[in-house]
């Protein structure tokens, strides 16, 4: 009787969550149609700030998608069985988040109806062009990888499929960072450091997302995360967040060292609407506080690590907003040594305010990632069974010994 | 010259089709005069045979369907000592010629193919003005980054956007060091048939490619009352623009980027 009630409750919760996710997706798609009909005039984006909030959300989803796959990679590539038990969930999340991010990017195009043109016209010198190959390739490889994990007859190929997925995800994040790394025009971009920075960002953001989803699923299933896997993943999260701080610091220090970029760095870090977002949002709340929570006694409690993970995700949005919007807000230095004015905002700081349609389109991507995960978790056996986990924990401990 | 073009435009797609007899007459007349080296495609508008130069400008014309020549590199020289403060004739000429006439509540969302920029030298406060537009780079970053190849450089050095394959990703706008490109932010009507524009596509100065192919100068050059702009073939040492670049100090904006731009400035 109790079992039936639990099943009914669980089923109701599933339909509630799936319905909620579908509603958010519907809002996003409806907004995309509105933008398609009206043009980008209904957004806050303009000819000065050409990429806006949808790009912040989309790039978060894409970068975190590649990072969330790391949990699977640690299992399949580096042989940690206790991680491998979580590989299906990791792969499912990766697919869902990439689907969400790509949908937002595609629906924000000025001519979203021409997406087939992007698929059939290839420019080998374009980083976007590379990504047109890297993103669908990620879907295919992670799909095959999931198949090798979940189909018993294919299990023997899971190591090689996992290795391919790991290499591909590194290429994918390199491609995402290089979208900005290959831009020669603007002071905030154009650095080879952006590719490795984005890779380490993906490690931290992806693991933070995994922690939050894993905690939610544990609550959903009325289960608790084992101490062994919890402490390992928590320590890993701390190292990744510290590494993102290190790379971010090097990026800004290098940029500030060059006289031509001093004005930009001064603007971004100390003298603009982005400064508080950088120091408070990205550095303090998004990095230092999570590191404190992870390594302080509070870090032994599951709840605090979930909060730390949520803070890391919040910091990720702050970081991308500062990076993408802030990088466009500072005027192009077309005439060094001159003060410049024009009817096209030359020499002027560009102020950007996201519009409601942009926000709706952006959260539509989150809705896709959320719904794919909820449906996937329900339909597929992506979470390991308790007894299997206990055995794997013993195996890993033996291996370590 | 531009007046005759504007008179001719409505005839091209619309009226000629609704009047077959008149269309046949024009075709017959075209055949008749073709032997003389001219083809009439509409009243008041003629295409000259390949290789012939426009008598007024000396610029070679290009037949429809004929590929642009690699031997030519079109360019502009702007003498900012002549550029009159407050004058926006070049901007008006460009936007009239290319049908960039829509008004938007937020000017930052409006297209600007060319703009007047006022410079103040930080050392001595000296003010100068110059027109800024696509610099038609030999190594254009916009072409490098475009995922579909819609951003392209024609053989004669003119950087263009193919409006049929532009997906509106705006990566070229992020890549352009001159802020020369605009996204069309709203649906457009009453466009110039020779200059297709469309919602969601990126656009920029075409050097008035449709005029160049007819042997005419870009509208901004033609309409500049001060004669501050010189148009011509940078590859031809005997062209006026080449001679002036050889004789005087000229500047490539953001020359540190080594983009080898087609638009040069004198007096910066």
Q: Which residues of B touch A118 (CB under 8 A)?
A: 147-148, 167, 169
Query: Could you list the residue range(s) of the whole structural domain that residue B140 is in?
Result: 74-266
pLDDT at A382: 76
**Token code pair at residue B208:** 């008035």
Q: How many helices (H) and strands (E) does chain B have?
A: 9, 11
**ipTM of this model?**
0.92
Which ranges constitute the DSSP H helices of A2-52?
2-38
Residue B54 inside a domain? The answer is no
Helix (H) or strand (E) holding A383: none
Would you give the end-to-end CA distance of chain B in angstroms?
Answer: 32
Residue of B nearest to A190 (CA): B175
| A48 has a chain B CB within 8 A of its CB | yes
Label residue A388 by pLDDT band (50, 70, 90): low
Q: Mutating which of B83, B168, B252 best tests the A interface, going by the most A Cβ atoms within 10 A?
A: B168
pLDDT of amino acid B22: 47
Q: Is B188 on the interface with A (CB under 8 A)?
A: no
Residue B174 contacts A, CB cutoff 8 Å: yes
Under DSSP, the state recorded for B53 is B
Partners of A38 on chain B (C-beta within 8 Å) are 186-187
pLDDT at A217: 85
Interface contacts A/B by beta carbons within 8 Å:
174
B20 reaches A (C-beta below 8 A): no
Is B16 part of any domain?
A: yes
Same domain for B174 and B104? Answer: yes
pLDDT at residue number A393: 57
Please report the sign of the dihedral spanned by the C-alpha atoms of residue A269, residue A270, residue A272, residue A274: positive
Contacts of A183 in chain B (CB under 8 A): 141, 145, 174-175
Q: Are B190 and B228 in the same domain?
A: yes
- Contact between A110 and B184 using a beta-carbon 8 Å cutoff: yes
The domain tally of chain B equals 2
User: Which of B148, B153, B165, B196 to mutate to test binding with chain A, by most A CBs within 10 Å of its CB?
Assistant: B148
- B110, B118, B200: residue with CB nearest A39: B200
Which residues from chain B sit within 8 angstroms of residue A343, using beta carbons?
107, 112, 115-116
Whether B68 is covered by a domain: the verdict is no
Query: What residues does B75 pair with on adjacent strands?
Result: B232
Residue of B nearest to A186 (CA): B177
> Does residue B61 sit within a domain?
no
Residue B67 located in a structural domain: no
| Confidence at residue A396, expressed as pLDDT on a 0 to 100 scale | 58
B237 close contact with A: CB closer than 8 A: no
User: Residue A342 and residue B115: Cβ atoms within 8 Å?
Assistant: yes
CA–CA dist B205, A46 (Å, integer):
18
Distance CA B89, CA B1 (A): 16
Q: What is the pLDDT of residue B18?
A: 40
Whether the per-residue pLDDT at A395 is higher than 70: the answer is: no
Query: Residue A340's beta-bridge partner residues?
Result: B119
Q: Pick the range with the lowest mean pLDDT from A123-132, A163-172, A218-227, B84-93.
A: A218-227
Q: Look at residue B37 and tell me if it is in a domain.
A: yes
CB A50 within 8 A of CB A328: yes
Which ranges in A221-353 belong to alpha helices (H)? Answer: 227-257, 259-270, 275-276, 289-295, 302-321, 327-329
Contact A352, B108 (CB under 8 A): no
- Of B30, B48, B66, the last residue of a domain is B48
> Does the pLDDT value for residue A394 go beyond 70?
no
Helices (H), chain B: 2-8, 15-18, 20-34, 89-97, 141-145, 171-175, 209-212, 219-223, 240-247
Burial class (CB in 10 A: 0-12, 13-18, 19+), A378: middle
Say if residues A208 and A67 touch (Cβ distance below 8 Å): no
In a domain, B169, yes or no: yes
The minimum CA-CA distance between B50 and chain A, rounded to whole Å, is: 32
Q: Within chain B, which residues score under 50 in pLDDT? A: 1-50
Residues B13 and B142 in one domain: no
- Using the beta-carbon criterion (under 8 Å), do A342 and B170 form an inter-chain contact? no
> B163 and B107, same structural domain?
yes
Name the closest residue on chain A to residue B258, using Cα atoms. Answer: A184
Tell me which of B16 and A272 has the higher pLDDT.
Answer: A272
- Do B88 and B152 belong together in one domain? yes
What is the rounded CA–CA span in Å between residue B168 and residue A323? 21
Rounded to an integer, what distance in angstroms lies between the CA atom of residue A369 and that of residue B100? 41
Q: How far apart are CA A146 and CA A180, in angstroms?
A: 31
Alpha carbons within 13 angstroms on the beta-carbon side of residue A94 total 35
For the stretch B252-259, contacts whose Cβ atoms lie closer than 8 Å and that sit 24 or more positions apart, written own/partner, are B252/B135, B253/A334, B253/A335, B253/B132, B253/B135, B253/B178, B254/A334, B254/B177, B254/B178, B257/A184, B257/B177, B258/B139, B259/B135, B259/B137, B259/B138, B259/B139, B259/B140, B259/B141, B259/B177
Average pLDDT over residues A57-86: 88
The answer to whether the CB of A58 falls within 8 A of the CB of A398 is no
- Write down all domains in chain A, each with its CATH number in brackets: 21-382 (1.20.1630.10)
β-sheet bridge partners, residue A365: none
Residues of A in contact with B148 (CB under 8 A): 117-118, 121-123, 129
Nearest C-alpha in B relative to A128 = B147
Q: Once rounded to an integer, what is the mean pLDDT over residues A26-37?
A: 97
Least Cα distance to B240 among B256, B229, B249, B251 occurs for B229
From A129's Cα to the closest Cα of chain B, the distance in A is 4
Enumerate residues 38 to 57 of chain B having a beta carbon within 8 A of any beta carbon in chain A: none
What is the mean predicted confidence (pLDDT) over A213-230?
A: 83
With both helix axes pointing from N to C terminus, report the angle between A227-257 and A194-220 in degrees, rounded to the nearest 10: 150
Give the model confidence (pLDDT) of A323-376 as tens digits: 999 999 999 999 999 999 999 999 999 999 999 999 999 999 999 999 999 999
Residue of B110, B122, B145 lying closest to A128 (CB–CB): B145
My answer on whether B78 and B167 are in the same domain is yes
Q: In this complex, which of A50, A126, A341 lies closest to B183 when CB atoms are compared? A: A50
Is A303 within 8 Å of chain B by CB? no
The residues in A 348-387 lying below 8 A from B, measured between CB atoms, are: 350
Mean pLDDT of A390-396: 57
Question: Per-residue pLDDT tens for B24-35?
Answer: 444 444 444 444
Instruction: Tell me: pLDDT of A306 over 90.
Output: yes
Contact between A194 and A177 under an 8 Å Cβ cutoff? The reply is yes
Q: Looking at the complex, does the CB of residue A114 fall below 8 Å from at least one CB of chain B?
A: yes
Longest Cα pair distance anywhere in chain A, in angstroms? 80
The verdict on B115 and B207 lying in the same domain is yes
Based on the fold, state whether residues B13 and B79 are members of the same structural domain.
no
B257 contacts B93 by C-beta, under 8 angstroms: no
Residue B122 belongs to some domain of the structure:
yes
Residue A263 Cα, gap to closest chain B Cα (Å): 15
User: Are B121 and B234 found together in one domain?
Assistant: yes
Q: What is the CATH number of the domain that holds B118?
A: 3.30.70.20
List all residues 6 or more positions away from A162 whose beta carbon is below 8 Å from its beta carbon: A72, A73, A75, A76, A77, A87, A145, A148
Cβ contact, residue pair B171, A126, below 8 Å: yes
Residues A123, B149: C-beta atoms closer than 8 Å: yes
B174, A328: Cβ pair inside 8 Å? Answer: yes
B183 touches A at CB < 8 Å:
yes
- Rounded to 5 degrees, φ, ψ at B207 are 60, 20
pLDDT at position A52 over 90: yes
Residue B76, C-beta contacts closer than 8 angstroms, at least 6 positions apart: B136, B207, B218, B221, B229, B230, B231, B241, B262, B263, B264
Is B120 found in the same domain as B84?
Answer: yes
Task: Clarify whether residues B23 and B90 are in a common domain.
Answer: no
By Cβ distance, the residue of A189, A339, A345 closest to B108 is A345
Q: Tell me how close the Cα of B191 comes to any Cα of chain A, in angstroms.
A: 17
- Asked if the model's pLDDT at residue A3 lies above 70, the reply is no
């Amino acid at each position: 009787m109790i079992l039936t009630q639990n099943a009914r409750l669980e089923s109701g919760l599933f339909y509630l969550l799936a319905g909620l996710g579908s509603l958010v997706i519907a809002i996003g798609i409806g907004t995309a149609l509105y933008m398609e009909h009206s043009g980008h005039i209904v957004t806050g984006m303009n000819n000065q700030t050409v990429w806006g909030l949808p790009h912040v959300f989309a790039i978060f989803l894409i970068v975190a998608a590649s990072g969330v796959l790391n949990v699977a990679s640690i299992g399949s590539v580096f042989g940690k069985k206790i991680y491998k038990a979580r590989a299906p969930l990791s792969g499912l999340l990766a697919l869902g988040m990439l689907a969400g991010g790509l949908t937002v990017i595609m629906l924000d195009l000025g001519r979203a109806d021409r997406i087939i043109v992007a698929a059939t016209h290839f420019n080998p010198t374009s980083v976007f062009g590379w990504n047109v190959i890297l993103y669908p390739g990620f879907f295919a490889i992670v799909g095959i990888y999931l198949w090798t994990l979940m189909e018993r007859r294919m299990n023997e190929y899971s190591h090689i499929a996992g290795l391919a997925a790991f290499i591909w995800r590194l290429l994918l994040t390199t491609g995402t960072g290089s979208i900005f790394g290959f831009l020669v025009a603007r002071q905030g971009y154009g650095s080879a450091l952006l590719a490795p920075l984005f890779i380490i960002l993906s490690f931290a953001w992806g693991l933070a997302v995994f922690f939050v989803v894993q905690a939610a699923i544990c609550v959903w299933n009325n289960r608790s995360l084992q101490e062994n896997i919890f402490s390992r993943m928590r320590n890993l999260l701390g190292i990744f967040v510290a590494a993102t701080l290190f790379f971010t610091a090097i990026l800004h220090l290098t940029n500030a060292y060059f006289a031509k970029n001093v004005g930009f760095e001064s603007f971004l870090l100390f003298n603009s609407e982005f400064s508080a977002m950088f120091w408070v949002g990205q550095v303090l709340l998004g990095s230092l506080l999570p590191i404190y929570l992870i390594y302080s006694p509070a870090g032994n409690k599951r709840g605090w690590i979930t909060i730390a993970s949520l803070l890391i995700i919040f910091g990720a949005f702050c970081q991308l907003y500062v990076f993408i919007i802030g990088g466009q807000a500072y005027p192009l230095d077309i005439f060094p040594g001159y003060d410049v004015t024009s009817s096209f905002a030359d020499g002027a700081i560009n102020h950007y305010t996201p519009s409601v349609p942009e926000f709706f389109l952006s959260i539509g991507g989150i809705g896709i990632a959320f719904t794919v995960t909820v449906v996937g978790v329900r339909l597929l056996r992506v979470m390991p069974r308790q007894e299997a986990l206990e055995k794997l924990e013993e195996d890993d401990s033996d291996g370590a010994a | 010259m531009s007046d005759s073009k504007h008179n001719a435009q409505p005839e091209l797609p619309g009226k000629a089709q609704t009047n077959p007899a008149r269309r046949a007459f024009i075709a017959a007349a075209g055949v008749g005069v073709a032997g003389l080296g001219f083809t009439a495609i509409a009243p008041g508008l003629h295409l000259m045979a390949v290789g012939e130069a426009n008598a007024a400008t000396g610029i070679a014309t290009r037949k429809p369907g004929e590929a642009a020549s690699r031997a030519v590199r079109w360019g502009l020289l702007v003498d900012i000592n002549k550029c009159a403060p407050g004058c926006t004739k070049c901007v008006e000429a460009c936007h009239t010629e290319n049908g960039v006439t829509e008004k938007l509540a937020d000017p930052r969302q409006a297209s600007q193919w060319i703009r007047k920029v006022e410079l103040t030298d930080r050392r001595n406060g000296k003010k100068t003005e110059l027109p800024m537009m696509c610099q038609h780079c030999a190594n254009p970053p916009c072409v490098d980054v475009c995922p579909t190849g819609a951003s392209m450089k024609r053989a004669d050095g003119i950087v263009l956007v193919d409006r049929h394959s532009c997906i509106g990703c705006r990566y070229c706008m992020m890549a352009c060091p001159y802020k020369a490109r605009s996204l069309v932010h709203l649906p457009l009507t009453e466009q110039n048939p020779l200059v297709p524009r469309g919602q969601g596509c990126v656009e920029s100065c075409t050097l008035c490619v449709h005029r160049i192919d007819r042997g005419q100068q870009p509208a901004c050059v033609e309409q500049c009352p001060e004669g501050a702009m010189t148009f011509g073939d940078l590859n031809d040492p005997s062209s006026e623009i080449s001679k002036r670049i050889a004789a005087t100090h000229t500047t490539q904006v953001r020359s540190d980027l080594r983009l080898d731009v087609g638009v040069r400035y004198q007096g910066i």
